[in-house]
Structure 1
Amino acid sequence: MSDLRLSGISASHPRTPVLHDVDLAVPSGTTTAVLGPSGCGKTTLLRVVGGFMRPDAGEVRLGGDVVAGPGTWVPPERRGLGYVAQEGNLFPHLTVAANITYGLPRRERKDAARVGELLELVGLPGDHGSRRPDQLSGGQQQRVALARALARRPRVVLLDEPFSALDPELRVATRDAVASALAAERATVVLVTHDQAEALSFADQVAIMHEGRITQAGPPAEVYRAPSDRRSAVSLGEACFLAGRTGDGIVTCALGALPVPGTTGTREVELLIRPEQLHLGADGSGGCPARVVRTEFFGHDALVELRLETADGPVLRARTVGPATPAVGSRVAVTVEGRPHLIDR
């Protein structure tokens, strides 16, 4: 295992800057998910770490060794990295066992015990070693690709949106199997993804990327509950925003006076409230009156669109348990559970 550190990384495609002064630390044995929309620079960042692209400025360190920086360049094959692409990229003419051992020294390629160990690690029966890629499902192919990446006992494993081509049910099962295998190997991992749920559930650390910059990095719960700005908040899931004003430990907004301990002074702020923080009670039970405008039912839960019945009442979105979804047009009372997060305006 090795830690990974990026310092001041800038990179560009011909005449087009992509990464801007990126700093990121991935501790040894942990997983970091780089989350951002298409075109924000996630894959370019992975290419710089992997050695497939030279940065214009900055430094990449693996386990304390500089592999890219001023006057230093270590090629990809000497960095000791494992890489899993979006499509797996298995060799169609080779068996699963041959795919896994491809790239190992010749004397290690016939090590059946190592192949069996890796197949077990990624949750595939040993008899899969004799099959060819076209005899496997998409999820099984991605597991084989991971086994191949782990075969050389890499210092860091790079995952380039490896689950995005799978259907939802298979994606979850494959992701869980991959996470278990990586944890068993105590691997240091960088995953790039545009999937919020994937980033939050898969990683020990989430790094949010916008327009070639890391805007925030931290534990999933921390960045979800306390994003640095509105854009980061939206990157991580549904969000409600309300204008407010602080004063004496409270914030006054369209939902009334909400307690926010520790706030001092008076200033204009924007409140971030996640939909699951909005509790819907029966009309007249206390709270801010609202009317249900629209609902999105997902079975296990639902999103309820509400308009507060105050002057120029804003529209909010609450998340409820599926069977408790109120009817469109009904009146409810809205209260806030937990502390809202404040963003200075």
Structure 2
Amino acid sequence: MSIPAQSASRETRRRSNVTFASRLVFEDIRHSYHGKETLFGISLAAEPGEVLCLLGPSGSGKTTLLRIAAGLEAQSHGRIVIDGRDVAGPKDFLPPEKRGVGLVFQDFALFPHMTVLENVRFGLTALSSREAVAEAGMALERVGLSHYAEKYPHALSGGEQQRVALARALAPRPGVLLMDEPFSGLDSRLKDAIRTDTLAILKESRATVIVVTHDAEEAMRMADRIALLRDGRLVQQGTPEELYRRPVNLFAAGFFSEINEFGGAVKAGMVATPLGSASASGIGEGRAVSVAVRLSDVDVGPAGGSAPARILSRRFLGVVEFVTLAVPGMEEPICARIRADRLPAGVDDVSISVAPEDILVFEKAS
């Protein structure tokens, strides 16, 4: 009988043998495809033992950057450096199997005609047959699937297949593990549990991990650091908290949460918005700005407050309600996410407010 992925407790897994984590550096990486530039001088480092998430929308270049690190594609300019050694540059290009990296693909890429054990031992070509079987068995124990060693991939759930792919990538004990959207094909009900268990395995292995994802929440759940990409350029890098609390522009703010957007201009170091005034420190007098307020930062309360509003619609979403509000003097409505029991049923007239520190101000690009 198949055991659900989320039931594989850490107590039933063998703890990983320690991997010597590597430092991987992207140095001024450029890439073009059929004459069209796709990456524009990206410089970034994955530090030993950390989980670095490459985050961005489709077409941002994150998977291309991962494939360049793996040796599956070649950059047009720049270097890939692992532990101080050029593995891809003007004079060097090592194939994937010579780089000391492990790969977990979006579709897991398991061989359907091989058993689970045979899949995991596939890359252990430097070992004898007996040693490879033993090492593959230990890798399966680490992910809690040693009892599935003789089964074939089609007999496993998506979550179990993902863990087999992880075991195969970790079996050679790589210094760097590269994962391309590893959870995107999983059932959303199981994704959180599988992601949590995978992160525990990765931390035990102590490998340096680079994960590609388009999901900001997933990146924040997994990453020690996040590199946010857009249109082949690095927008911002830092810890999840840094990117969420101190986004560098409107794109970064909107990628991590739903936002209301306003326009404005700086006057005496401040900018006026429909939800109150905010500091525009560092932006020149009279300069046009973009203002963002997260939906979760809009406080909606009983009528009589400083900023009156009328509810246009409200949708119950379980823990929260999604509320659309009309504000005097504004053509576009304002949206908010509030606690589900915050307002009584049937209320139309309310007031709204936002703490000044929750109003994000960005200079408009020229």
Task: Give 2:316's match in structure 1, choosing from 286, 292, 297.
Answer: 297
SS of the residue 1:71 aligns to: coil
Q: Is the 8 A contact 1:248 1:265 kept in 2?
A: no
SS of the residue 2:106 aligns to: coil
Q: Give the counterpart letter for 2:153 in structure 1.
A: P
The residue number in structure 1 matching 2:10 is none
Report how far residue 245 of structure 1 moved: 4.4
d(CA) in 1 for partners of 2:346, 2:36 = 49
Task: Give 2:177's match in structure 1, choosing from 129, 145, 157.
Answer: 157
Q: Is the 8 A contact 1:115 1:129 kept in 2?
A: no
Q: Give the counterpart letter for 2:324 in structure 1.
A: E
Q: Is the 8 A contact 2:260 2:334 kept in 1?
A: yes
Q: What is the CA deviation profile of residues 232-251 of structure 1, one whole-angstrom value per residue up to 9, with x for unaligned ones?
A: 22222211222344556754
Q: Is the 8 A contact 1:247 1:266 kept in 2?
A: yes
Q: What is the CA deviation profile of residues 61-84 of structure 1, one whole-angstrom value per residue up to 9, with x for unaligned ones?
A: 112111111111111110010100
SS of the residue 1:305 aligns to: strand
- Structure 1 residue 311 corresponds to structure 2 residue 332: no
The residue number in structure 2 matching 1:118 is 139
Report how far residue 108 of structure 1 moved: 6.0
d(CA) in 1 for partners of 2:36, 2:75 = 13
- Structure 1 residue 199 corresponds to structure 2 residue 219: yes
The residue number in structure 1 matching 2:253 is 233
The residue number in structure 2 matching 1:344 is 363
Q: Give the counterpart letter for 1:319 in structure 2.
A: R
The residue number in structure 1 matching 2:61 is 41
Alignment of 1:82-231 (within 5 A): 82-104=102-124, 105-107=126-128, 110=131, 114-122=135-143, 124-231=144-251
| 136-145 vs 293-302, which moves further | 293-302
The residue number in structure 2 matching 1:57 is 77
Q: Give the counterpart letter for 1:257 in structure 2.
A: S
Q: Is the 8 A contact 1:67 1:74 kept in 2?
A: yes
Q: Is the 8 A contact 1:247 1:263 kept in 2?
A: no
Percent of aligned positions that are identical: 38
Q: Is the 8 A contact 1:158 1:191 kept in 2?
A: yes
SS of the residue 2:358 aligns to: coil
The residue number in structure 1 matching 2:8 is none
The residue number in structure 1 matching 2:23 is 3
Q: TM-score, normalised by structure 1?
A: 0.91
* Structure 2 unmatched runs, 5+: 1-20
* Equivalenced residues, count: 341
d(CA) in 1 for partners of 2:240, 2:340 = 25
* Structure 1 unmatched runs, 5+: none
Q: Is the 8 A contact 2:320 2:339 kept in 1?
A: yes
d(CA) in 2 for partners of 1:215, 1:64 = 26
d(CA) in 1 for partners of 2:270, 2:353 = 15
d(CA) in 2 for partners of 1:150, 1:109 = 18
Q: TM-score, normalised by structure 2?
A: 0.86
Q: Is the 8 A contact 1:300 1:322 kept in 2?
A: yes
Q: Is the 8 A contact 1:20 1:213 kept in 2?
A: yes
Q: Is the 8 A contact 1:275 1:317 kept in 2?
A: yes
Report how far residue 50 of structure 1 moved: 0.4
Report how far residue 137 of structure 1 moved: 0.2
Report how far residue 304 of structure 1 moved: 1.7
The residue number in structure 2 matching 1:18 is 38
d(CA) in 2 for partners of 1:264, 1:133 = 57
d(CA) in 2 for partners of 1:311, 1:38 = 36
| 288-297 vs 132-141, which moves further | 288-297
| 168-177 vs 225-234, which moves further | 225-234
Q: Give the counterpart letter for 1:303 in structure 2.
A: F
Report how far residue 143 of structure 1 moved: 0.7
Q: Is the 8 A contact 1:87 1:165 kept in 2?
A: yes
Report how far residue 139 of structure 1 moved: 0.6
Task: Give 1:28's match in structure 2, choosing from 48, 51, 57.
Answer: 48
Pairwise CA RMSD: 2.3
- Structure 1 residue 324 corresponds to structure 2 residue 342: yes
d(CA) in 2 for partners of 1:292, 1:116 = 60
The structure-2 alpha-carbon separation of the partners of 1:98 and 1:287, relative to structure 1 and needing over 3 Å to count, comes to farther
Report how far residue 117 of structure 1 moved: 3.6
d(CA) in 1 for partners of 2:333, 2:323 = 10
Task: Give 1:73's match in structure 2, choosing from 93, 106, 122.
Answer: 93
Report how far residue 98 of structure 1 moved: 1.7
The structure-2 alpha-carbon separation of the partners of 1:97 and 1:326, relative to structure 1 and needing over 3 Å to count, comes to farther
Q: Give the counterpart letter for 2:351 in structure 1.
A: A
The structure-2 alpha-carbon separation of the partners of 1:264 and 1:23, relative to structure 1 and needing over 3 Å to count, comes to closer
